[in-house]
Structure 1
Amino acid sequence: MKGMDIPALEVFVAAVEEKSLSKAAERANLVTSAASKRVAELERHLQRTLLQRHGRGVEPTPAGALLYQRAKAILRAVQLAESAVQVYSAEGQAKIRLAANPSTILQFLPDRMARFLSQRDYVSVDLIEAHSYDIPRLLIDGSIDLGIYHANHPATGVTSLPFATDRVGLVVPIGHPLAGRAELFLEEALDYDLLGYFPRHSLDQFLAYIGQTVTRPPTVKLQVSNFETRCRMIREGLGIGVVPERIAANYLSSMGLVLLRLRDEWAARRFFLAVRDPVGLSPVVAELLAFLSQPA
């Protein structure tokens, strides 16, 4: 063995922390004999006894205790180095993991991402579609670098910046009894079947979101997540639906639909741009954060 290697240090650290070579072997997915061999090779290389073996397990010698502290720092540095490299794709491009809800992806990101990427050949973006209520958790878990979500208030546990606002409206087919209305409260439309997939992604969550603004739940016979498909279903008379106004505008004339303004306060939505911690962001993630933070 020419020198200390990372797997041997990992087994040694585990043995000190677990006070047992067999438990250290379990942590490293090794058999006990293999874990013992790695520690023995480490001791042979350093020409020092690092662990005292006894009937109750193992404990570090003074030299072992010193190595344990240094090994922890080494392993942490290796972990940080691996994390740093992960921001690059296999081809060497800087990689950013961005999650956003469907409304954001359709309404706000195409133009902005086109402008951002057109000037940065060295960057690739993995754009992930996710529910707004999942995005803060994905940030906290480290599964994504940036997230855009909508909520009444910034989420806890992450750093959020104002990003955009929109409104949802009620889409009905031409000729529907409500089609002549310019605006209304959702309460006034509850006599008609409502196509699901709501701004909060399930009927129960939607009702919690809108609070006491309706006196009874809407009748929902069909759940449709895709906005275009939802509008097609509305055209076929299968119900009326809540759709972001900017997205609905793409389908009104071609599908014979009418968009009614919802007067409910919850129809106005706030979107937030978030990171887990703005300190220590990779340069490219910080660059995209600054770019998206600018007014559209």
Structure 2
Amino acid sequence: MDERPSPEAARAVAEEEADVGVAASHADLSGLEATPFRIDRLVLVAPRGHPLARRERIAFAEALGSEFVGLSGDVALGGHLDGHAARAGGRLRTRVRVRGLDAACRMVALGAGIAVVPEVMAQRSGDAEALAFVPLVDSWAERRLVVIVRRRDALSSHARRLAEHLAGAA
């Protein structure tokens, strides 16, 4: 198992570095078989007392003036957000960086800043009562994830079972 941004995951499967991958459908999936996996909605997570916590929804660019709990460089979502911040004409003001989404939610609950995480991760956070989840209105904040393989019929039995399990979990 290796976490990579969607374009790199698709490339790894296409170039036979990986048998099975999960990628956002916006990646170049040419020549790959793709099976729907799930919708991954990104939300802004803020401590309950933060001014943005009262918003019903927000554009990512509007949050760029706040201090963020960022994700370390090897976490795919961190690079994804950095790219969208740059395209919006800004950058993330990162107060602290953590390696995982659970840690990001814990740091937000402690008041270290705000973060953008998948909605399902925010809801599973043990600190959910201390957090406010604000949907992002940006079109890129709703990602359609797919399970990708080169050819399902050419997979080993273990890889085929993994791909089928992931697709069945959709």
TM-score, normalising length from structure 1?
0.49
- Contact 2:122-2:128 within 8 A present in 1 as well: no
Corresponding position: 1:208 with 2:53:
no
1:193-215 deviations in Å (ceiling 9; x for gaps): 1222276432xx53435774x34
Cα RMSD after superposing both structures: 2.7
Write the distance in 1 (CA, Å) between the matches of 2:127 and 2:95.
26
Distance 2:161 2:128 in 1: 39
AA partner of residue 3 (structure 2): A
Give CA-to-partner distance per residue, 1:162-191, whole Å, 9 cap, x none: 221120100010111112112111222222
Give the match for residue 118 of structure 2. Answer: 244
Give the whole-Å Cα distance in 2 for the aligned partners of 1:173 and 1:215: 25
- CA deviations 1:38-75 (Å, max 9, x no partner) are xxxxxxxxxxxxxxxxxxxxxxxxxxxxxxxxxxxxxx
Equivalents in 2 of 1:236, 1:284: separation in Å?
Answer: 42
How many aligned residue pairs are there? 166
Hey, what does 1:144 align to over in structure 2? 18
Q: Distance in 1 between matches of 2:167 and 2:93?
A: 39
Q: Which has the higher helix share?
A: 1
Gaps of 5+ in 1: 1-127
Q: Does 1:228 align with 2:102?
A: yes
Distance in 2, matches of 1:195 and 1:211, equals 17
**Aligned mate of 1:177, from 47, 51, 71:** 51
Larger Rg over CA atoms: 1
Change (3 A) 1:238 1:207: same
User: Which secondary structure does the structure 1 equivalent of 2:35 belong to?
Assistant: strand
> CA 1:140–1:152 in structure 2 vs 1: closer, same or farther (change >3 Å)?
closer
Counting strand residues as a fraction of each chain, which structure ranks higher?
A: 2
Decide whether the 8 Å contact of 1:194 with 1:220 is kept in 2. Answer: yes
Structure 1 distance, partners of 2:155, 2:32, is 13
**Judging changes above 3 Å, is the alpha-carbon distance between structure 1 residues 191 and 223 closer, same or farther for their aligned structure 2 residues?**
same
Identity level (%): 28
Structure with greater contact order relative to length (CA < 8 Å, sep ≥ 6): 2
> 2-side partners of 1:276 and 1:131: how far apart?
17
Deviations 1:214-253 (A, max 9, x none): 3422312322231111112112222100011111012275
- Give structure 2 stretches of 5+ with no counterpart: none
Letter of the aligned partner of 1:173 in structure 2? P
Aligned in 2, Cα 1:277/1:174: closer, same or farther, shift over 3 Å? same
Relative to structure 1, the CA distance from residue 287 to residue 237 in structure 2 (aligned partners, 3 Å threshold; closer, same or farther) is: closer
2-side partners of 1:220 and 1:165: how far apart? 27
Are residues 235 and 291 of structure 1, via their aligned partners in 2, closer, same or farther at CA, if it must alter by over 3 Å?
closer
Contact 1:232 1:255 in 2 (8 A): no
Report the Cα distance in structure 1 between the residues aligned to 2:65 and 2:156, rounded to whole angstroms.
52
Match of 1:130 in 2: 3
1:1-296 paired onto structure 2 within 5 Å: 128-133=1-6, 134-197=8-71, 200-202=77-79, 205-209=80-84, 212=87, 214-251=88-125, 253=127, 256-294=130-168, 296=170
